[in-house]
Chain A
């Protein structure tokens, strides 16, 4: 049973470009969460999605950031017009339908903005 998968593992973008981060939850999991971790900082919740629905986006910046979890395919975290401050590790986690509490993390995508 494959764990949570994220790609790419490393992403380099220049200021102003777009970054797309993908997350495939564990098999049988229908809840996806995105977190951001800045260097030497803790994980900060960004958004919680179920298939085709955003449940909680209280941690998402109001501009440039968006997330989706379509009926088919992975969840996508999209960052438009990236700035240097967006450089961070972005982790995706998933949990099963029966329990929202325990979350399992993917390996993360390390975004570097030049």
Chain B
């Protein structure tokens, strides 16, 4: 069973707010995890990979909890330009392909 589950949202937050998304995956053997963002009618763009120790890139922080099989994305100081759909992506062994995409969480940052 290859499942990646996300809350579809939408999350409507004011500028400057902090918002967090979670994602759960079904295969405990998964090794590769990513967050992509997708703007309306555009292609997915890699936001960040998710490492076991957690990682941060500017206002974005990603964390992995292997025991509970979920990953999270935290966005601090939200900007209007952060409005998009955020896709949780996980590999399902064996191998690193294919990747399985969640349906995404929609974020709207409001002025």
Contact = CB atoms under 8 A, between A and B. Distances in A.
Interface of A: 33, 35, 41-45, 48, 55-56, 58-59, 89, 91, 100-108, 110
Contacts of A91: 43-44
A107 B100 CA distance: 19
A107 B91 contact: no
Contact of B97 (A48, A89, A106, A108): A48
B100 A45 contact: yes
A101 B96 contact: yes
Given A48-B98, A56-B98, A105-B45, A41 B103 contact: yes
Interface in B21-67: 32, 34, 41-46, 49
Contact of A45 (B43, B99, B103, B104): B99
Contacts of A103: 46, 99
Given A41-B103, A42-B87, A43-B87, A108 B43 contact: yes
Contacts, number: 52
Interface string B81-107: 000000100010001111111111000
A107 B97 contact: no
A43 B46 contact: no
B64 to A, nearest CB: 14
B100 to A, nearest CB: 7
A44 B108 CA distance: 24
Contact of A43 (B44, B95, B96, B97): B44
14 contacts: A33-B98, A35-B101, A42-B102, A55-B97, A56-B97, A58-B98, A91-B43, A101-B32, A101-B96, A102-B46, A103-B99, A105-B45, A107-B43, A110-B41
